[in-house]
Structure 1
Amino acid sequence: MPDSSRTASPDPASDKSPPDHDIDLEKVPTTGEPVVPQVSTKITFPETDLDRGIVGWDSQDDPAHPQNFAMSRKWALLAVVSSISFISPLASSMFSPALTSLSEDFGETNQTILSFSVSIFLLGYTFGPLLLAPLSEIYGRRIVLSGANWFFVVWQIGCALAPEIASLIVFRFFAGIGGCGCLTLGAGVIADLFPVDQRGLATSIWSLGPLMGPVVGPIAGGFIGQSLGWRWVYWILLIVGGTLAVGVEIFIKETYAPVIIRRKTAKLAKELGRTDLRGAYDPEEGVSPAKILKQGLKRPLLLLFRSPIISFLATYMSICYGLLYLFFTTIPSVFEQQYGFSPGITGLAYIGMGLGFILGLIITATTSDKILMRLAARAGGKLEPEMRLPLLVFWACFLPVSFFWYGWSADKKVHWIVPIIGMGPFGLAMMGVWMPIQIYTIDCYPAFAASANAALTASRSFVGALLPLAGPKMFQTLGLGWGNSLLGFVAVAFVPFGMLLTKYGKTIREKYPLNL
Structure 2
Amino acid sequence: MERTSSPAPNSHESISSGSDRLTAIATSQDRRGSQHEAILADTLSRRPTNLNEVELERIETYRLQHRSTVGSGVPVPREEWLPMGAGKPYPPVLPDPEQFVVEFTDANDLLHPQNWSLRQKIIISVVLSYSTFVSSFASAIYSSAVVEISPQFHISSEVAILGVTLYVLGFASGPTLWAPASELIGRRWPIIVGVFGFAIFTVGTATCKDVQTLMLTRFFAGFFAASPIAIVPAVFADIYSNQTRGVAIAMFAMAVFVGPFASPFTGGFITMSYLGWRWTMYISCIMGFLSTVLCLLFLKETYAPAILVEKAIKLRRQTHNWGIRARQEEVELDWEELITINFSRPFRMLFTEPIVFLISLWMSFVYGLIYALLSAYPVVFQGLHGMNLGVGSLPFIGLIVGEFLGGAYTLLDQKSYAKKLAANNNIPIPEWRLPPSILGGICFTIGLFWFGWTGWTKSIHWMAPTASGVVTGFGIYVIFLQCFNYLIDSYLTFAASVFAANTIIRSAVGAAFPLFSKQMFNNLGVQWAGTLLGCLALIMVPIPLVFIKIGPILRKKSKFAPTFGPRESTRAEKEPRASV
Per the normalisation by structure 2, the TM-score is 0.78
Shift of 1:279: 2.1
**2:148 aligned with 1:101, yes or no?**
yes
Structure 2 counterpart of 1:73, from 109, 120, 132:
120
User: 1:486 maps to what in 2?
Assistant: 532
The code of the aligned residue for 2:290 comes to T
CA distance in 1, matches of 2:329, 2:209: 49
Question: Distance in 1 between the 2:151 and 2:348 partners?
Answer: 45
2:479 to 433, 438, 442: 433
Q: Which amino acid aligns with 1:23?
A: V
Pair 1:45–1:292, CA change in 2 (3 A)? closer
Distance 2:235 2:333 in 1: 26
Which residue number in structure 2 is paired with residue 298 of structure 1? Answer: 344
1:167 aligned onto 2:213:
yes
Secondary structure (helix, strand or coil) at the match of 2:542 reads helix
Is 2:147–2:157's contact at 8 Å kept on the other side of the alignment? no
Per-residue deviation at 1:361? 1.2
Cα distance change of structure 1 residues 507 and 515 upon mapping to structure 2, 3 Å threshold: closer
Question: Are the counterparts in 2 of residues 138 and 293 from structure 1 also a CA contact under 8 Å?
Answer: no
Q: Equivalents in 2 of 1:124, 1:495: separation in Å?
A: 29
SS for the counterpart of 1:163 is: coil
Match of 1:349 in 2: 395
Is the Cα–Cα contact under 8 Å of residues 492 and 561 in structure 2 kept in the other structure?
no
Does the 8 Å contact 2:101/2:325 carry over to 1? yes
What whole-Å deviation, never above 9, does each CA across 1:404-442 have from its counterpart, x for those lacking one? 111111113211111101111110011110001111111
Residue 315 (structure 2) pairs with residue 268 (structure 1): yes
Aligned to 1:185: 231
Q: Structure 2 matches for 1:322-333, cutoff 5 A?
A: 322-333=368-379
Distance 1:269 1:242 in 2: 35
The code of the aligned residue for 2:502 comes to L
CA contact (8 A) 1:21 1:384 kept: no
Q: Which runs of 4+ in 1 moved over 6 A?
A: 8-12, 43-46
Report the alpha carbon displacement of residue 376 of structure 1 after superposing the two structures with TM. 3.8
1:514 partner SS: coil
Distance 1:246 1:21, change over 3 A: farther
Superposition deviation, residue 349 in structure 1 = 1.3
The one-letter code matched in structure 1 to 2:551 is: G
Tell me which residue corresponds to 1:229: 276
Instruction: From the superposition, tell whether residues 348 and 427 of structure 1 become closer, same or farther in structure 2 (CA, over 3 Å).
Output: same
Distance 1:68 1:292 in 2: 34
Change (3 A) 1:51 1:350: closer
Which of 494, 503, 507 does residue 461 from structure 1 map onto?
507
Match of 2:260 among 214, 233, 239: 214
Q: Deviations over 1:156-213 (max 9, x none)?
A: 1111111222321111001001111111111111011001111110000121111000
**1:45 Cα deviation from its structure 2 partner:** 11
CA separation in 2, counterparts of 1:157 and 1:168? 10
* Deviation for aligned residue 1:399: 1.1
How far apart, CA to CA, are the structure 2 residues paired with 1:327 and 1:233?
Answer: 20
3-state secondary structure, aligned to 2:386: coil
| Residues 9 and 363 of structure 1, relative CA distance in 2, 3 Å threshold | farther
Q: Are 2:417 and 1:372 aligned?
A: yes
CA contact (8 A) 2:242 2:428 kept: no
Counting only pairs closer than 5 Å after superposition, residues 51-62 of structure 1 correspond to structure 2 as 52-62=99-109
Q: CA deviation at 1:266?
A: 2.8
Q: Please give the residue correspondences for 1:65-144 in structure 2 after superposition, counting only pairs within 5 Å.
A: 65-108=112-155, 110-144=156-190
Which of 456, 463, 470 in structure 2 is aligned with 1:411?
Answer: 456
Alignment check: 8 A CA contact 1:6 1:23 kept: no
Q: Hey, what does 2:441 align to over in structure 1?
A: 396
The answer (yes or no) to whether the contact 2:12–2:106 under 8 Å persists in 1 is: no
Q: Which runs of 5+ in 1 are unaligned?
A: 13-19, 26-40
- Partner deviation per Cα, 1:291-324 (whole Å, 9 max, x = no partner): 6633221221121111111111111111111122
Which one has a bigger Cα radius of gyration? 2
Specify the alignment match of 1:33 in structure 2: none
1:94 is paired with a residue whose SS is helix
Match of 2:432 among 387, 401, 404: 387
CA contact (8 A) 1:56 1:280 kept: no
Cα distance in structure 1, aligned partners of 2:437 and 2:104 = 37
Equivalent position SS for 1:58: coil
Q: 1:118 to 1:22 in 2, by over 3 A?
A: farther
Distance 1:438 1:104, change over 3 A: same
RMSD of aligned alpha carbons: 2.8
Q: Which residue of 2 aligns with 1:475?
A: 521
Pair 98,283 (structure 1): closer, same or farther in 2 beyond 3 Å: same
Deviation at 1:277, TM superposition (A): 3.3
Q: Which runs of 5 or more structure 2 residues have no equivalent in the other structure?
A: 1-9, 21-50, 64-95, 563-580
Residue pair 1:127, 1:177 contacting (<8 A) in 2 also: yes
**Aligned CA distance change for structure 1 residues 433 and 482 (closer, same or farther; 3 Å):** same
Q: Contact 1:22 / 1:383 at 8 angstroms: preserved in 2? A: no
Alpha carbons 2:143, 2:374 under 8 Å: kept: no
